[in-house]
Structure 1
Amino acid sequence: MKRYMVVLLLLIASVSNAQITVKANKDAPWRKLYRSEATKINDLVHTKLDVSFDYSKSWMYGKVWITLKPHFYPTDSLNLDAKAMEIKEVALVANNKTTPLTYDYNGMNLFIKLNKTYGADEKYTIYINYIAKPNEYTGAGSVAITDAKGLYFINPTGEDKSKPTQIWTQGETEGTSVWVPTIDRPNQKSTDEINMTVPDKYVTLSNGLLIGQKKNADGTRTDSWKMDLPHAPYLFFMGVGEYTIIKDSYKGKEVSYYVEKEYAPVARKIFGYTPEMMKFFSEKLGVEYQWQKYAQIVGRDYVSGAMENTTATLHQETANQNARQLVDGNEWEETIAHELFHQWFGDLVTAESWSNLTVNESFADFSETLWDEYKHGKDAGDEHNYNEMQDYLSSSGEKKDLVRFYYKDQEDMFDAVSYNKGGRILNMLRNYVGEDAFFKSLNNYLTTNKFKTGEAQQLRLAFESVTGKDLNWFWNQWYYGSGHPIVKIDYKYDDAAGKGMAIIQQTQSDKIFKLPVAIDVYTGATKQRFSFFISNKTDTFRFTYNQRPDLVNVDGDKIMLWEKTDNKTAANYVAQIKYAPLYVDRIEALNYFAKKNMPELLKGLDDAYAGIRSFTLSTISSDSALLSDENTLAKIEGMVKTEKDPKTKARAIEALANTYAEQYKPIFEQYVNDSSYTISGEALSGLNNIDSANAYKLAKKYIKDAKGKLASVASTVIMINGAEEDFEFVIKMYATFPPGQDKFDATFPLFYYLSKLDDIEKIKQGIDQIVSFRNTLSQTDQEYTDYIFKAGFDNIGQKDKELEDYIKKVYK
């Protein structure tokens, strides 16, 4: 599962000087409820499912045959999860006979009285005839998974001509039981067969292989899918829709991409690295891709980022990128790697409980760093690792354990601790035990537990078996503890005695961390490395020298998950950017130069890595003093002409735009038609700063086909400059934006636009659109962001008492 966090993170990031306080109820009952692995009374063995769909009602008609066996103790009963269903028949199937069984159903659980007491390993098969009614299920979602009804009919009657008709399922965490009765727990595993009857114009996708297709007399077709390897119920999947299937392969196995027709020409540009990823991960882990095939499908209105259903990953529509978007690079590439890595960590070996989600999600998060390193270089991997670390540090997750046995709801586990922090912990562990031992240990974990479940302790035992090291200390502080070190680093030198010290103080109040760290001492370009263990509140690293070092670089590999105050001098940082090679070394130095207004900041403009150049340009863009320096601007203007990386070129144009200088108008006019949406968007923004009338005309011209940065800038330009007669155009434009980045970017310009109107009824229509978007956010997102929406609504409400009353009515 890739978390869908775009809206929440951007909303929070957009408000400067805002403080968000969430009060914790220390006496809440859930804080005393230990979340253990689910007790196994019966084990799933095989699930056979026949389904058809009623598009007009958004119902699914199902017949399921579930084969089970007692886990150990004899039992005469069965409890299945079955949410919001109409149960029509429950029976035992044996010797080609069907025997009705007594059952009780409360809308959530189906309690079945078996015909006898079954002993361990004595299999039995239950038949259930039912109707799934997902829209009647009222379970709540989360920040990561914004809805929980399991089965989704998208535009089922085709009324919305701008959207295709689709069906897709979302099982994690316990949504599969909305569309098929099952034991909906991650520690269950089952093989399955799914037969889907659909209108003949649609294609289907499910787990495993398509083993048969039969055309029916009524214009439908029945597709039969078979998964003959065991996997968890939350990984069961069905997808239906009008898709073009682009086929690839990996070692004789089908690799396919299910995309809407318009994206077929670029499907390989979006997903085409998949076979290479499969090869890379298989070789790195020493465990070949185990499943029968690998398919990826894009679903409209998906409730999360992406989901690693076994052999059939579902992506949200952000994966749909046209050729012009892909000029800026494939923004979905890391997500594709993330979901693929789950086929090992999550699907092959599955977290035994949501408390141990780290053995699924931390690995998938970490895989993004691995892939970036391999495909795009060390700097790209380090940049991703650094950014993920910053996201965790700003997430307020310091009070949460990574392995968490106390939580309010399992959905709460899908957070920056399970993902970002867990991924960084794996990266630290990799650095500590060494590359070969790390991946040998992962191989041990996967091969020992394949097609079974895993937990953090099994991971520890796998590492200890390979390395011969006791790693309880590492697991206790990082897996079974919360928080992270907060350190202050000071330096002292005695040139007369030729002795120096790096004094490292842990300032967090709750506990002291044990931290193996590399310390590099630089004299010019010559580096001497020392291994050092931090284990006290204050530790002192001592060294001797003949010449005072230019730089003492604590955490030379820039691997530590910590917050630090590093009291180096300006000269130290000048040496760091000159000699220390890593991405984070350079970023730290550039941040220091920016804070101290040092001209050395401009060194970042000449860095070999585009990410550093882009970072430097962004820093300059926010500094009015630098933007008034003629030499700096001349350098940036030159970069606009020579820069090869589209996003970095766009940053350079953004810097020039922020000067509001008429002299750069020819540049904006030249690049507003660029093939890169990002470059075009920044050029349009710059043009709006100095020629809003022209920018307004161009924005109305470009908005129809705009995506990404151009879409957000064009919509903003239209709403800032638009008049009353533009209302129909503006409101339709806003309505067509899918929930996410583009719609968020357009929301606050829409507030501004509505505040300029006089027509009360039009303003109400705009309010309805914004409220509708706000209501697509999860409850958690709403709690964090409502004060932002409230400010916009309060401003509009001041215009008229009728509007104030209307807002009170619709905005709740």
Structure 2
Amino acid sequence: MTHKKIYLLNFVFATFVIAGNFHPTPDRDFDMIHSKIIVNIDLYAKSVEGNVTHDILILADKIDKIVLNTEDTHIESVEINGQNHNSFELSGNKLLIPLNRNYEMDEKITIVIDYKSQPKLGCYFVEPDSVYPGKHRQAWTQGEQMHNHHWVPLHDYPNDKSTFECILTVDKPFVAVSNGSLEKITNSKGKRTFYWKESAPMVSYLISFVVGEYQEIKDNSINTPVSYWVYPEHDRSDALRSFGHTPEMIRLFNDYLQFSYPFEKYDQIIIEDFMWGGMENITLSHMADRTMHKESAIPHHSSEWLVAHELAHQWFGDLLTTRNWANIWLNEGITSFMELIWAEHKYGYSEKEYYRFKELRATIYASRGRKPMVFFNYENSNDLFDANVYAKGAVVMNMLRNYIGEKPFQKAIQFYTKENAYKNVESYDLKKAFEETTGKNLYWFFDQWVYKPGLPELTVYHRFDKSKGGTIITVEQTQDTLFSSTFRLPVTILIDDGNINRFHVDIKKKKQEFFFESRKPKIVVFDEGYQIPKIIKHKKSDEELTFQLLNAPHVNDRISAAKEMGKKKNGRKFIKALFHSLYSDKFWGVRKEVASALAKMKLKGKETQIINLYHQESDARVKSEIMNLLDNLRGNELTSFLTEVILNEKNDYVVRSAVHSLSNVNEDTLMKNIDYILNRNSHNDIVRKAGISKLSSIKSDSNFLKLMELASYGGTTWNSRTTAVRGLESYIKDHPKIMDEMVQFLMDPNYRVRWIAVNTLCKYGGETELDQMMNIVSNDPLTQFEYSSGKHHLKKRMENPKSYPGGKRTPKKVLTKYFNELDRITRE
């Protein structure tokens, strides 16, 4: 599943770890062999009705009952081995089915359950209305983590695999797309039945279907049928723009893993109002329709990273599946690593390394939570899906690749894939595969990076000793070992003394000193390319930083120099070097990060140079960052330039940056153009959202009234309303009645609006509003996805009543009451 970059939202909670309950892998008394689901899906009644047949093999010595999972479901009848058996019991999310005798190990049971569900989770219904008639009528599932049992009774935990059939009846003209091969389609009385069969064993959360009006775009791929299911208003070029790299990715992953794509076909289907970016259901990845884009979004937005991630999941997540949520990094981290493999294959080493550098930054931020990648003591399994498993997992796999070498790494991951195909796995299985194929003892590696929390915190010193004819480097680990151990760190040290020399060292102690023969170095780079996630202090002279910025071989080291310059209080002395880099560096990612560093500096007098730089720059991503250099400058020249960009630039993301910059340069001119901005269509409404956000930051009575209008149902586009609702926060102090609006937003058809309302009420609400919130959302499980965030805000208010200025004064005991209530609901 792609939360990317949704895991960024979890950064706000990364400064602490919530001690939840211990969640071991549950025991199983039986093995699900095969399930056959036969249902009618009614998009108007929002129901799923039919039956499911489970073929079960007994694992225990003796059992007298079968326990399945179900919610939001009326069980009409149960049949065991052909006999009616209606003495079942519903308890919480459990369906308890007593057996007519004790069944022993290796006996088989067939259970047939007739049921009708009106699910609140797991299966979602999207529909148009008179206000938003352009929405697509759909039904689609989202099983991960454990939500499929809301629409079909089954075993809903990822420690068991079975084969499945899904026979789905829907009204014409809708189509029903599901997992595996399409065996047949039958027609009768205004309905169609689609018979799908998945022959590979899979965990239950990977069962999926989508019902709606679609066209199938078939692509050319050797051996694997590939299709893209898009809306009727799309054409083939739209589908290929988003998904057209898929066949090449399949060939790459087949070759890299030496394990050909393992299933019947590979479909990607877009869905509306999806809460995540994508979901890797077996043979059928669900993709948020917001990934579709026009040329005007390129290169800022591309679907290929989402496509690579979900495709890689077909191996890591579907073919091999984590046995428990605590080891979810085996699904998400390895898959994120495969994105790096794609980046390197398609765009080269520098692109891959810059992509990894961004994952490094996410890893470093996430490490503040002091949570290991394998973590059983969670509150809710959804909280595990953050940068600590996605980004850190990718970085850790890349470190392992660097440590053992490319060929041994490929051999090991190929063995891991083949040895564990169609099985459940834990981190031990990965370690074992790498140790067996390489002969290396990797206990230390997995212990410090996988099973223990934290990152190394290093202080590095270097000095040239002329008398000894070399450079002395001292490395000290300063991290708190209460949370993590002393790390073993194999690193490469680059010394450029006129010639580039690389030295490989293996740091194993808290403090170590190294001597390297050299002339006086122009630069010393500890851990070339920033391969290891770490917090480092390495003092360098201005001359060394400048030389590193302009001459370091690795893109990440040039970026690191720019970032260090941006932190300096006397950073103006670096302006010339930074501008030189911005003009001359060949890699766009370096230029972008250099522009980001320059934006922190005083650039008065550089207005014309910045405008010229913008016009000379070929990469729109860098152009967007160059806009930020203007934020603290003023003048008619800049006002005219930014207005021209807003009105005439084709790239949506560059226009968004221009809107933000013009709000700082000349807000009056921005407001004169606000109607144009609010009416410009763009990818995911990014330009419109930028304009709406300015109604929040540029406060006035007229802007408040406009924001209220946009926040109302139908006031603006479906996707933009969330920005308007969130923007009302800035007016709460002067307009406390906004809290009443937030209570009403808890019942909004748009669940993202409801999420914002929960957060806003937890930040600013008093006892009355919080009580209303709990009463309204108690029957809305989807809104409960935001309760962890709401708890965070309540906790801040409990610790500091002034955390959110403008909020209602509320006694700590009242805040504690609602914190505890949210805590109870979020814990599994």
TM over 0.5: yes
Superposition map of 1:9-48 within 5 A: 9=9, 12=12, 24=18, 30=21, 33=22, 35-48=23-36
Structure 2 distance, partners of 1:649, 1:442, is 39
Q: Does 1:475 align with 2:446?
A: yes
How far is the alpha carbon of 1:794 from its aligned partner?
5.6
CA contact (8 A) 2:610 2:626 kept: yes
How far is the alpha carbon of 1:251 from its aligned partner?
1.2
- Indicate the SS of the match to 1:778: helix
Give the counterpart letter for 1:602 in structure 2: F
Deviations 1:24-58 (A, max 9, x none): 56xx6x2xx3x333322110111101111344442
Taking a change above 3 Å as real, the CA distance of residues 168 and 260 of structure 1, as seen in their structure-2 partners, is same
CA contact (8 A) 1:440 1:466 kept: yes
Corresponding residue for residue 97 of structure 2: 112
- Indicate the SS of the match to 2:78: strand
Uncovered stretches (5+) of structure 2, i.e. residues with no partner: 746-752, 759-782, 810-817, 823-828
Corresponding residue for residue 155 of structure 1: 127
Uncovered stretches (5+) of structure 1, i.e. residues with no partner: 13-18, 136-148, 799-807
Give the counterpart letter for 1:182 in structure 2: L
Taking a change above 3 Å as real, the CA distance of residues 236 and 736 of structure 1, as seen in their structure-2 partners, is farther
Corresponding residue for residue 645 of structure 2: 671
Which one is further off, 651-660 or 46-55? 651-660
Output the aligned Cα RMSD.
3.1
How far is the alpha carbon of 1:351 from its aligned partner?
0.8
Corresponding residue for residue 766 of structure 2: none
How far is the alpha carbon of 1:639 from its aligned partner?
2.0
Structure 1 distance, partners of 2:382, 2:281, is 17
User: Could you state the TM-score of these two structures normalised by the residue count of structure 1?
Assistant: 0.87
Give the counterpart letter for 2:711 in structure 1: I
How far is the alpha carbon of 1:117 from its aligned partner?
4.3
Give the counterpart letter for 2:627 in structure 1: I
How far is the alpha carbon of 1:761 from its aligned partner?
8.1
Corresponding residue for residue 209 of structure 2: 238
How far is the alpha carbon of 1:470 from its aligned partner?
1.3
Structure 1 distance, partners of 2:359, 2:496, is 28
Corresponding residue for residue 117 of structure 2: 132
Corresponding residue for residue 364 of structure 1: 335
Superposition map of 1:613-652 within 5 A: 613-623=591-601, 625=602, 627-630=603-606, 633-652=607-626
Structure 2 distance, partners of 1:377, 1:152, is 40
How far is the alpha carbon of 1:374 from its aligned partner?
2.2
How far is the alpha carbon of 1:200 from its aligned partner?
0.9
CA contact (8 A) 1:47 1:191 kept: yes
Taking a change above 3 Å as real, the CA distance of residues 603 and 351 of structure 1, as seen in their structure-2 partners, is same
How far is the alpha carbon of 1:314 from its aligned partner?
1.3
Structure 1 distance, partners of 2:691, 2:233, is 23
How far is the alpha carbon of 1:266 from its aligned partner?
1.4
Give the counterpart letter for 2:501 in structure 1: Q
Structure 2 distance, partners of 1:54, 1:745, is 32
Corresponding residue for residue 288 of structure 2: 316
- Indicate the SS of the match to 1:53: strand
Taking a change above 3 Å as real, the CA distance of residues 557 and 694 of structure 1, as seen in their structure-2 partners, is closer
Superposition map of 1:103-502 within 5 A: 103-135=88-120, 149-155=121-127, 160-217=132-189, 219-264=190-235, 265-325=237-297, 327-502=298-473
Taking a change above 3 Å as real, the CA distance of residues 227 and 456 of structure 1, as seen in their structure-2 partners, is same
How far is the alpha carbon of 1:712 from its aligned partner?
2.5
Deviations 1:421-449 (A, max 9, x none): 22211111010011111111111011011
Corresponding residue for residue 769 of structure 2: none
Deviations 1:578-633 (A, max 9, x none): 4321121001111222324123222330211112212222222232x2x2143xx4
Taking a change above 3 Å as real, the CA distance of residues 728 and 601 of structure 1, as seen in their structure-2 partners, is closer
Corresponding residue for residue 775 of structure 2: none
How far is the alpha carbon of 1:755 from its aligned partner?
7.5
CA contact (8 A) 2:732 2:739 kept: yes
Q: Does 1:519 align with 2:493?
A: yes
Structure 2 distance, partners of 1:728, 1:458, is 55
How far is the alpha carbon of 1:393 from its aligned partner?
1.7
Q: Does 1:567 align with 2:539?
A: yes
Which one is further off, 101-110 or 495-504? 101-110
Deviations 1:231-287 (A, max 9, x none): 110111011112232221321422122223334451211111111111111111111
Taking a change above 3 Å as real, the CA distance of residues 79 and 158 of structure 1, as seen in their structure-2 partners, is farther
Give the counterpart letter for 1:270 in structure 2: S
How far is the alpha carbon of 1:745 from its aligned partner?
4.9
| Identity level (%) | 28
Taking a change above 3 Å as real, the CA distance of residues 751 and 11 of structure 1, as seen in their structure-2 partners, is farther
Deviations 1:723-760 (A, max 9, x none): 57746753358854556xx5665456444578788xx9
| Number of corresponding residues | 760
Structure 2 distance, partners of 1:727, 1:641, is 34
Taking a change above 3 Å as real, the CA distance of residues 562 and 744 of structure 1, as seen in their structure-2 partners, is farther
Structure 1 distance, partners of 2:377, 2:384, is 10
Structure 2 distance, partners of 1:540, 1:235, is 52
Corresponding residue for residue 674 of structure 2: 699
CA contact (8 A) 1:168 1:239 kept: yes
Corresponding residue for residue 535 of structure 1: 508
Which of 768, 773, 776 is 2:756 aligned to? 773
CA contact (8 A) 1:266 1:322 kept: yes
Structure 2 distance, partners of 1:589, 1:797, is 45
Structure 1 distance, partners of 2:652, 2:144, is 34
Superposition map of 1:581-600 within 5 A: 581-594=553-566, 595=568, 596-597=570-571, 598-599=574-575, 600=577
Corresponding residue for residue 683 of structure 1: 658
CA contact (8 A) 1:2 1:307 kept: yes
- Indicate the SS of the match to 1:496: coil
Taking a change above 3 Å as real, the CA distance of residues 309 and 475 of structure 1, as seen in their structure-2 partners, is same
Give the counterpart letter for 1:582 in structure 2: H
Which of 65, 70, 75 is 1:77 aligned to? 65
- Indicate the SS of the match to 2:366: coil
Corresponding residue for residue 763 of structure 2: none
Structure 2 distance, partners of 1:724, 1:473, is 57
Which one is further off, 35-44 or 407-416? 407-416
Corresponding residue for residue 761 of structure 2: none
Which one is further off, 489-498 or 441-450? 489-498
Which one is further off, 115-124 or 240-249? 115-124
Give the counterpart letter for 2:693 in structure 1: T
User: Could you state the TM-score of these two structures normalised by the residue count of structure 2?
Assistant: 0.85
Structure 2 distance, partners of 1:159, 1:252, is 46
Structure 2 distance, partners of 1:417, 1:762, is 36
Structure 1 distance, partners of 2:45, 2:129, is 9
How far is the alpha carbon of 1:771 from its aligned partner?
6.5
Taking a change above 3 Å as real, the CA distance of residues 108 and 514 of structure 1, as seen in their structure-2 partners, is same
Taking a change above 3 Å as real, the CA distance of residues 241 and 539 of structure 1, as seen in their structure-2 partners, is same
